[in-house]
Chains A and B, each alone.
Chain A
């Protein structure tokens, strides 16, 4: 802005100078022309008839002014009307009646006279303070025309009588005060400056906003790419682990079935005091553990398509909490629900039930000293679609930030050996993904954890049918 202002100021100065110089040049030419014309067409003619031509014509009856007097009078009158423009004639050889006025009176005039005597064709000008205000002083040589020479050499009062055509008689100076012009131009330029300035500022603001918006969009895109990539990676991992798990589980299932079958029936048949009773019970117990693990693995890896049916999430939550209630009570966990007005949704009821059970079990495990679990349902608008929300909140130990991105990995567990398979949350993740939903984690160590599952909107016809 500063640079622009400086440029504009420089530009205005230049503009003023050019315009005023042009003005005074024309003015000086006009004055000279008028005098020449007056000399040849008036003075020459009337002189032959004896009409007196004199500087003090006003005081003499029937007299007309000398050309120089005439042109100075003209300049005086114009000056009165046009912004104080002045003209002056001066010379080293003033007529006697102009002794006081007709010589150079200041530095400019002396210099102008000296300069123009050497370069009669040139002009001599300066912008300088004149009588208290900035002015353009423009001087040109006043030269002897053919119509002038005879008269000047013949006039009785002439201080010099050997004038030749082209001689520099003196100087014609035009003085143009600039203050008014400067103010006017500056004002107009200031207005222009502010106009352009605000336009520019507006442009810059628009650019900044555009830039910010773009940055926003970009950040959003980056985030969504990151999320999608993470999701894709997670599903790939799931798929790989799933295949492996299915293979292993399948192979283990048969031998395990045999071990378990023998263990169950052997334990039933053996007497309590038999020395093999305890080892057999241990075999049975551990085989059962294996069975649970294998079943989890298979559940996790099952390629089954979800059996999508229309169901009431609130009803499923209520039923499921009934299953968990006993376990919660044993662990001093208070289980409550806050059910919102949800429309029926499409999904696999058993899988959704599994999600609730797994998340609640984790919550119970996160609160060894007891605590509270709140299961919420509700709806949330994403874009113009209504998603169904399932939120399971506890006030347990929380999940440290550094493992939050690992908890959905298969086999990742923080539970002690034998307590957890590390498949619970990955199963939840898998199920949510099968439903086309998303799951979000919000956890603060020492304060608790909330898992929020978003189920995608069912088509609106179905959604409104139940309402």
Chain B
């Protein structure tokens, strides 16, 4: 079953200062199946985040359309959970209040979500921290809190925008394993959400995803779509050699554009 379908999407930004037009995405086609973990990589400026924002319903495409389970995407919906790059936790709410923001905002009676929120707090390993405020947490804990906040709405699709970019290397490895566990990598695809995971790290994409999509820049478009046939659960049988070959393959696709991206920015 198709979870996300993107149909010839283009997005053009007009700079409010110079009036200059920048084509962020051009004629992007993409499908993500139910239960599939898709990673998107590409040099900076390739429109990765723009694509994710369109699927989240925060941005509107200039042309083309996006569908979620065959319904056109017209705006944000709790059905499509988003994990933001810098967490975007509400600084004035405690861990518990942040996690329960979604159910409360949708007007779900508290008797229905109290237990689920408790469960999520322990699933992401924040038991005992539920009354803390975001600024009192470490980077990794903030990311766990943001993950739990997304999960509290029980979304059918996870949209993750470089979720691990701001945490240190050790925390990142731990969180990668946790994300796969909570996603349910040992479950049949019908029982787990579809994931769209944006990252700068090619090794991270290969390690986590079923498919890696490489975007090119100027204009942003799909350059390559690679299937990652590694065994799951990934962290139990890691095949560093096979991973290395795949990483090298993808890097070969990106290298030239990444270099010109650095020179231009």
The reply to whether chain A is a binding partner of chain B is no
